[in-house]
Amino acid sequence: MKKHTIPALVLVLFTILAFTSCDMINNFIASRTRNIAVIQIYNSNKERTNRLQPNDTLFVEVQGLAANGFYKVECLDPDNNPITEMTAQADENGVISPSPLWYDIGFKKEYNSTLGRTVPVLPAPDAQLGLRAFNIRVVSLDPSQGTASMTDFKLPFFVVFSTNLERPQPIVMAGKKVGDEFVLENSFEPGQELWVKVANMTDLPPQVPESTTARVFVVAYKGDAYTEGESILGVAVQQDFTLSQLTATGGVQITANGWSTIPPSAQGKPFSVIVDVNNNGAYDIKKEGTDSYYLDGIDGNMVPGFVVKGPQTVDYIPANIASGGIYHYSYSTWSYDYDYRNQFKIEGLDTRYAWDWQYGGYGVKATWNPYINWGYGSQGVNTASLYYGSYVDVYIIDSQARDGAGKYPEDGAITASSKWNWTKITLPVQYSCYNGCGQQTIWRADGDSNEANGGLKLGNYDVVVDVDRSGTFTKGDIIDDQPQNATSPYTTPRDVSGQDLYGGFSVVSNYTTE
Amino acid sequence: MKKRLLLLALALLLCIGSAVAQTAEKEFALFKRTIAPVMQWGENGIMTVPKATTLGKANFFIGAMGQQAGKIEGLGLYLTSLTLMAGTSDDVEFGYTRRQLIWEDFYFSNLSMDTFHMKARFLNIADYFIPQAAIGVNAVSLVDNKFTSRNDILFNPYLAVTSTIPIFTPKILFSVTAVAETIMNKDQLGKYQFSGGADLNLFNFLYGFAEIQGFDPNSVKSEVLNVGVKLRLGFLSAGLGMFNIALTPGAGGNIIDQYASSLLDLANANYMATVAIDIRLGKKAPAKK
């Protein structure tokens, strides 16, 4: 017994510390806690969780940073290969609000020999519990901070893909049929077939009146999140399918309402696909009073499910990008107005206040979903990681010469405007729908007209989306040099005679008529 | 030469065939480092791979581990783990781990994670040569660090088999371990993963370790190797390890040649350090006759 005296005393000491002095320990910890959660991850329902479903979006929140500091946030695989990346500015409290960092989470890259390109695929059978472990890294971008105060840290995280809920949320996927194979696709051309496949669904919940089918809606993308019980509006197609049709390996083709092939009227528009499993015409996330009994599924919540792209162009893609961010649905055209603007007032207070993305506040937003052409550049598939994660660089440049000659020279360097805060901004984007968030602030306004305070500065600008992140103008880059009301094929740059207003947008003291 | 011997031993004793790991296995290794307890290196675990051996009745273990996480605005951050493990019987041990991000000025952040551990040895015929076997589980919350609903807890069950071989004397012990494990949430299972390793105990003073995390006998690619050493003086021990060493089997006609000529890539490797206190109120259980 004697030889146990010292260990026993140590154990007693720890026991006393652990159990009889809890208050003291807690008080000590509280007094020594700098109340910063540093990095948190969320699912698209904004729940702090390590459980996500494939095809969900991973949001990241970072705290404890320098007020208004600029940062790069990366999602790295276990080999430290970037999966995706974004640049962000912390708010006045040093917080990067929950921001989408990884779209289509869980999809791996796989070369499809029939299509001749890499496509994202779900790597695991639906029924298997999947695990993904990765690091999130935050690095300061502001050179004025110097190395002494530099921020560079990373934390490991893991998420699991669980389907073993009371009733898991159906995973809805828009796609194409290649041979007998269903291939996930978010970018279509008019005349192509639209196919839909639902994974993670083994039953239909009780319906009133009772039915053996679920209703599939193809609706105009609304630019924001669907809330619980929200009515399904802007319907382009509605069609009923049985459970076995929806979950068939090869998917099921949309054919109703003149969509046996995608009609020309859909060109240049983004859509969402909703599977209304209880046929009540509303988007229901969960059964009332339950925690994990999910009902309807959607491909295109907060991000478009798919786009019908504009006509392919020879080199760069002219498009409207600069937007005020105040979307509204037009019942006259049955489509959304994306608030593209030729002019922004320098104060910027009449733009949407974006409160939940990595670069929030008033200011110029980027929105370019409806105009994507697939097939150029690397589009995020040539990263070293096995995971699919796509991101692009966005620049605001001084508007280029009006005559168009050599405006965007092939392989010429993209040089950001000296009036802008950034040299470039990196945005995670959804598979082939490059602007996954629908809109993101790319130039924050500060609410006053004094250029010395920062914010917008008077001038004429173009917006460039460097799709292949080459830093040069290359085939497939998307450039806004267009007037706000331009229509496909977007060939005539904005040039207001006699007013010295040209480029994709102008920052002005007062609006003028164009 | 040391490396060659170690790798040969690993290859031989784990019977891993053309063992390899792809990203899924590397992810599992990263996951294990995120949720595993601080092991009593060389005793109830290798480094992050659990052994079938247990602490023993009335023996306790307190271990701490830390790794640099970087810095925010010039202030360093460390990811720390503190484990308290208790041997409740000769063959059963329970543990709790608190993982906490702390600042270099010893302030806590409120980013923390709890993990619970249990291991039960069910085969203990002899101390040496004949393998011992145990099953265990680690449990971690998936939602906001809460353990109120079984649906919100991710379990990491495993089966560990360990064989200990005395080298001329019981004071020099060579031990090899193989582990099969998976993840489980409610009744749903994930993919099975395999790990293993070896450790050498010299006079209960100096320990050396090597472990491979996650390998798949069906594919050939690089694996993750962790290596480390530990010094022990009485109830106090301290260890230093290097983890995430990429191991690419080389060319060769057989598995031994492949592993003997394998390449080590330290590009993504990182250091880990541990300090541990053993509190031995009981004695190690004798093998069942």
Chain A CB contacts of B114 below 8 Å: none
pLDDT (average), residues B237-266? 72
Chain A residues lying within 8 Å of B280, measured CB to CB: 4, 7
Return the ∠ at Cα B66 (arms to B99 and A24), rounded to 5°.
Answer: 55
Residues of B in contact with A39 (CB under 8 A): 111
Q: How many CB atoms lie within 10 A of CB B145?
A: 16
Annotate A23-68 with DSSP letters as a single string: HHHHHHHHHTB-----EEEE-TT--B-SEE-TT--EEEEE-S--TT
pLDDT per position as a tens digit, B95-132? 999 999 898 888 888 788 899 999 999 999 988 999 99
Nearest CA to CA, how far is B131 from chain A (Å)? Answer: 30
User: Pick from A11, A33, A138: which is nearest to B281 by CB?
Assistant: A11
CA atoms lying within 13 Å on the CB side of residue A255: 5
Contact between chains at B188 and A134 (C-beta distance less than 8 A): no
Q: How confident is the model at residue A118 (pLDDT cuts 50, 70, 90)?
A: confident
Judge whether B240 is closer than 8 Å to chain A, CB to CB: no
The domains of chain B, with CATH numbers, are: 2-280 (2.40.160.40)
Distance from C-alpha of A93 to C-alpha of A65, rounded to nearest angstrom: 8
**Contact (CB, 8 A) for A11 and A127:** no
- Average pLDDT rounded to a whole number, residues B254-271: 68
Chain B hits for A10, Cβ within 8 Å: 235, 277, 279
Q: Does B60 contact A at CB distance below 8 Å?
A: yes
B279 CA: distance to closest CA in chain A (Å): 5
Residue A323 neighbours by CB under 8 Å, 6+ apart: A338, A339, A340, A341, A364, A365, A366, A367, A439
Residues of B within 8 A of A128 (CB-CB) are 189-191
Subunit contact A151:B73, Cβ cutoff 8 A: yes
CA distance to partner chain A, nearest, from residue B34 (Å): 7
Q: How confident is the model at residue A371 (pLDDT cuts 50, 70, 90)?
A: very low
Check pLDDT > 80 for residue A123. Answer: no
Nearest chain B residue to A148, by CA: B74
Interface with B, mutate which of A153, A164, A387 (most B CBs under 10 A): A153
Confidence tier at A403 by pLDDT (50, 70, 90):
low
Which chain A residues are closer than 8 Å to B27 by Cβ? 77-78, 131-134, 158
Residue in chain B lying closest to A127 (CA)? B188
- Average pLDDT of chain A is 80
Chain A residues close to B109, C-beta within 8 Å: 33-38, 64
CA atoms within 13 A on the CB side of B134: 24
Which of A211-215, B23-27, B66-70 shows the lowest per-residue confidence on average (mean pLDDT)? Answer: B23-27
Contact check, Cβ <8 Å, A152/B71: yes
Give the pLDDT of residue B2: 45
Using a CB–CB cutoff of 8 Å, tell me whether B269 touches chain A: no
One-letter identity of residue A427? L
Of B27, B110, B187, the CB nearest to A36: B110
**Pairing state of beta strands A459-466 and A440-444?**
unpaired
Q: Do A153 and B72 touch (CB under 8 A)?
A: yes
**Looking at the domain covering A39-102+128-161, what would its CATH class be?**
mainly beta
CB nearest to A153's CB, from B33, B70, B279:
B70
Question: Which residues of B fall within a CB distance of 8 Å from A64?
Answer: 72-73, 109
CB contact under 8 A, A151 and B106: no
Q: At residue A434, what is the residue type? A: Y
CA distance B134 to chain A (A): 24
Closest Cα in chain B, distance from residue A145 (Å): 8
Residue type, A407: K
Confidence band of B237 (pLDDT split at 50, 70, 90): very high
pLDDT confidence of residue A102: 86
Cα separation of A87 and A134, whole Å? 19
What is d(CA A155, CA A333) in angstroms, rounded to the nearest whole number? 48
How would you classify the pairing of strands B223-233 and B206-215?
antiparallel
- Angstroms from B112 CA to nearest CA on chain A: 9
pLDDT in tens, B152-179: 899 999 999 999 999 999 999 999 999 9
Residue in A closest to B236 by C-alpha? A7
Chosen for mutation from B25, B28, B30 (greatest number of chain A CBs closer than 10 Å) is B30
With CA atoms as reference, report the closest residue to B138 among B197, B181, B177, B79.
B181
For tokens 């992810």, what's the residue?
B27
pLDDT exceeds cutoff 50 at A355: yes
Q: What percent of chain A has pLDDT over 70?
A: 79
Residues 88-107 of B with CB under 8 A from A: 101, 103, 106-107
Task: Say whether residue B82 is in contact with chain A using an 8 A CB cutoff.
Answer: no
A-B interface: how many C-beta pairs under 8 angstroms?
168
> pLDDT, tens digit, for every residue of A27-63?
777 777 776 778 888 887 677 888 887 777 888 988 8
Quote the Cα angle for A188-A189-A194, to 5°: 55
Q: In angstroms, what separates the C-alpha of A385 from chain B's closest C-alpha?
A: 9
Token pair belonging to A265:
């009227």
Whether chain A has a CB inside 8 Å of the CB on B245: the answer is: no
Residue B178 contacts A, CB cutoff 8 Å? no
Comparing alpha-carbon positions, the chain A residue that sits nearest to B190 is A129
State whether residue B85 sits within 8 Å of chain A by CB.
no
Residue A281 DSSP symbol: S
How high is the pLDDT of residue A313? 55
Pairwise CA distance, residues B263 & B248, whole Å: 5
A188, A263 Cβ separation under 8 angstroms: no
- Token readout for A140 is 């300061």
pLDDT tens profile A423-452? 898 888 765 444 444 567 889 898 899 988
- Find which of A78-92, A121-135, A207-221, B7-21 is predicted with most confidence, using mean pLDDT: A207-221
Residue B233 contacts A, CB cutoff 8 Å = no
pTM recorded for the entire structure: 0.76
Chain A residues within an 8 Å CB radius of B186: 164
* Structural domain spans, chain A: 39-102+128-161, 171-305, 309-514
- What is the model's pLDDT at position B165? 94
Q: Which member of B62, B111, B141 has the closest CB to residue A14? A: B62
- Residues 200 to 219 of B: which have CB under 8 A from any A CB? none
Residue B26 near residue B219, CB atoms below 8 Å: no
The alpha-carbon gap from A131 to the nearest alpha carbon of chain B, in Å, equals 7
Determine whether the interchain pair A7/B281 forms a contact, defined as Cβ–Cβ distance below 8 Å: yes
Tokens of A167: 């009733």
Please judge whether B110 and A132 are an interchain contact, meaning their C-beta atoms are less than 8 angstroms apart: no
From the CA of A203, how many Å to the nearest CA of chain B?
18
Helix H or strand E segment including B260: helix B255-260
Please tell me the predicted confidence (pLDDT) of residue B22: 47
Residue A137 pLDDT grade (very low, low, confident, very high; cuts 50, 70, 90): very high
> Which residues of chain B make contact with A4, given a CB cutoff of 8 A?
280-281
Smallest CA–CA distance from B32 into chain A, residue: A133
A127·B188 Cβ contact <8 A: yes
Q: Which residues of chain A neighbour B108 with C-beta distances below 8 Å?
A: 29, 32-34
Chain A closest-CA separation from residue B271 CA (Å): 15
